[in-house]
Amino acid sequence: MVRARKVTVGPDETLTVSTDEHGHTAGWADAGPDAPPAPPARTDPAAAAFFDVDNTVMQGASIYWFARGLAARNYLTTGDLARFAWQQLRFRVLAVEHAGSMSRVKEAALAFVAGWRIEDVERLTEEIFDELMAPRIWAGTRALAQQHLDAGQRVWLVTAAPVEIGRIIAARLGLTGAIGTVAEIEDGAYTGRLVGDLMHGPAKADAVIQLATVEGLDLARCAAYSDSANDLPMLSAVGRAVAVNPDGTLLRHAREHGWSVHDFRTGRKAARIAVPSTVAAGLLAGAVTAGLALRRRLTR
């Protein structure tokens, strides 16, 4: 049984947080009335599409570009970014070789936004999306999403970033909304702790299933898009799985199972996005070092 509740996260914004019988927690937010252009009417309300963000919708990782934008505004230094990259590599090794290491990732995941006001994060996300993310949206993936919208279906982003950041990206793209990591909020500010788990791997599948239950979707009529084998649980949870700019493992799996494959990269583009992709989880999971400095700068 899935239990869902609405949580107020801003003056005019709410977040849906649900928990299933296994204790898995997921959160999602509509893009809201500020999403341009207005999506078509939902003439096919039982079907939807779910898009991973990093390297599927945009080149590189959204949280990487967010950090780049912060660095340009002197909220971060190049040294902070270098530390994130190192921490990402370290956490990847730990996650593979040591049981329980993901709990350490979870503890560190949102430390970099501790003390930030929601409105500050949303304002910065809007600015940084326009400056750094919008030029890196894959036109081919955007067209795939538009096909679902034109068919009267809902389109959701599914991201490991805080759901509020995902919502802004969805709004800028004219999509329905976003599923993302739920950050604990007290008095309009992030505490730096998580509610539930990182929106990564099996957690994405759990979240999609919960949203489908609450929103009345038929998963057999839904589609999911991703570049990574990490998202195989989500891709396998829907009736139609699509590999976009796939890694080697996902490409092999897609071919074996007859899934559609789209690759919008060139060789040079694939090389250029390698560093942002590698840094992505480090920015999310290894940002403890810069967290206090960020908070001090924002409150000056």
Which residues carry out catalysis? 52, 54
Q: From 211, 202, 183, 230, select the one nearest 54 (Cα to Cα).
A: 230
Residue type, position 129, single letter: F
* Strands 25-30 and 240-244, sheet pairing: unpaired
The DSSP secondary structure of 238-262, one letter per residue, reads SSEEEEES--HHHHHHHHHHT-EEE
